[in-house]
Amino acid sequence: MMSSILLKKGLNGMKMKSISASLMGVVVTAGLVTGCGTSTSKQEASPAVSSAKPAETASAKELTGELEIQYFVGGYGDAWWKQSIDEFQKLNPKLKITQTAGPTINEQMKPRWIQGNPPDLMFINGAGSNARQMFLDNQLMDLTDWLKDAKNVDGEKITDILFSKPEEYQPGKAYTLPLVFGSYGTFYDKAELRKNGWNEPKDWASFIDTMQKIKDSGKMSPYIHTGVYPQYIIGGLLNSAIVAANGSDPSIINKINSLEAGVFKSQPVMKALDKLVELNSKGFIEGSSAALNHTDSQMQFLQHKAAFIPNGLWLENEMKKDIPAGFEFGFIPSVVQDIGGKAIIIPSTATMGIAKKAKNPDAAKAYLQYVFTKKQAVAWAELTGSVLNVKADLSKSDKVSSLVKQASTYFSSSDVVIAPVPVLAEELFKIEKDATLALVTGKITKDEWATRLEDGAAKQREKSK
């Protein structure tokens, strides 16, 4: 049975990251991929071409009725969604699946969520989405009991094969399931660094040394970021710097997520802010950064107007039409660690959530059981240029980019620190973004940054009473 699709035509872009969202995270600080466009249309989806062999059905009982899936179309595109939903549809011919999708779908669907008529399943990612806010607004189904024993169609316990466990908005409770395990980090062109004799960064000391050489050469700016969306530099540098300054103990992210009083003025956070100040004071940041959106900053990076950029793993797929010949993506999850220190991964996960008022929650859960598999992890990597939140061997696929394989190697290594996903409510996250941009442009001090965040956190705590 064909799926009906509401698709937004226009530019796909990143995330308000998000990973992450965000990121992504990312983001969010979760759900950080954004996009733009100007028109929508409703059309029948053509059957996707799939090399996957549909195996067993995702549910022991026959699925009937209707299933509506909402997903944001941004840096990850929509090819994987069409393919996986088409496969799932063929396995469940009596189920009518509607795909509601597009670059601005989150804004378009807000009235339905507010009116209590949401889709069954949502990919919580992109501009206008915030998983934590949806939880606070009582829009998400509690998945805790289901996830305790849920197995995918291959018989594997889902929680056993995840890179990143579900975020806990309440202790011991799960309301979302991370689908994408993106990672913020620092990106560069390996070929360009080799050509100029500049070393790839391994830690903060080597990063600063290389950027100084780049600045002295006058060939390009050392560093560029997305000022319009400051979550990129928050995810790609600040959050990992906070963990590094905390002795590589990622528990400080949990303290931030829980809005522990005083955490934004704590020593690790203040030391991390010093690194942002250093980038600005040494003149490493491209002067136009504050006014750039994601695609503009990414384009300047690809054109070698700047050597390094904080970003997420969606970068390659999002800019695939503009990558120059010979460009060789380099990626490191963090550059903030001391010499010999472990790399720190700040996930930019994008999550799946079932609406509390879902009309067909059984079908929604069955779809999740179908896609949280190693087969789908390979398909996701091939079609999106990023990593699904499932531990799988991507090395054997010649369709997976070298960048994604680099990242997957990091994720699977025991020599990294994987932090919890930073997740702030929308209002406080905006305060963090605005304050961070002001800090890196020299408009406020780090003490003023911390005061803004502490005041914002206090208001959030008061609201939750």
Average pLDDT over residues 51-67: 64
Ordered by start, the domain boundaries in the chain are 4-181+349-392, 184-345
Q: Say yes or no to pLDDT of 7 above 50.
A: no
Note the pLDDT tens digit of each residue in 311-337: 988 899 889 999 999 999 999 999 999
Q: Where are the beta strands (DSSP E) in 251-317?
A: 306-312
Q: Say yes or no to pLDDT of 41 above 90.
A: no
Domain 184-345 fold is D-Maltodextrin-Binding Protein; domain 2 (3.40.190)
Note the pLDDT tens digit of each residue in 108-164: 999 999 999 999 999 999 888 989 889 999 999 999 999 999 999 999 999 999 988
Mean pLDDT of the chain: 87
* Band (55; pLDDT cuts 50, 70, 90): very low
| Matching residue, tokens 């197995």 | 151
**Region of poorest pLDDT, from 10-14, 213-217, 432-436:** 10-14
What is the full DSSP assignment across 184-215? EEEEEEHHHHHHHTPPPPSSHHHHHHHHHHHH
C-alpha dist (Å) from residue 458 to 170, 258, 439? 18, 11, 21
Same CATH fold assignment for domains 4-181+349-392 and 184-345: yes
Q: Do residues 104 and 110 touch, judged by C-beta distance below 8 A?
A: no
User: Who wins on pLDDT, 193 or 40?
Assistant: 193
Sign of CA dihedral 38, 303, 227, 202: positive
Would you give the end-to-end CA distance of the chain in angstroms? 48
Q: Say yes or no to pLDDT of 418 above 80.
A: yes
Note the pLDDT tens digit of each residue in 228-249: 999 999 999 999 999 999 999 9
pLDDT computed for residue 60 by the predictor: 59
Domain 4-181+349-392 fold is D-Maltodextrin-Binding Protein; domain 2 (3.40.190)
User: Who wins on pLDDT, 455 or 57?
Assistant: 455
Neighbour order of strands in the sheet with 39-44? 39-44, 4-9, 95-102, 65-72, 121-124, 350-354, 177-180
Q: Say yes or no to pLDDT of 261 above 80.
A: yes
Closest C-alpha to 270, from 453, 446, 455? 446
User: Who wins on pLDDT, 23 or 183?
Assistant: 183
Q: Say yes or no to pLDDT of 49 above 90.
A: no
Average pLDDT over residues 4-25: 35
pLDDT computed for residue 292 by the predictor: 97
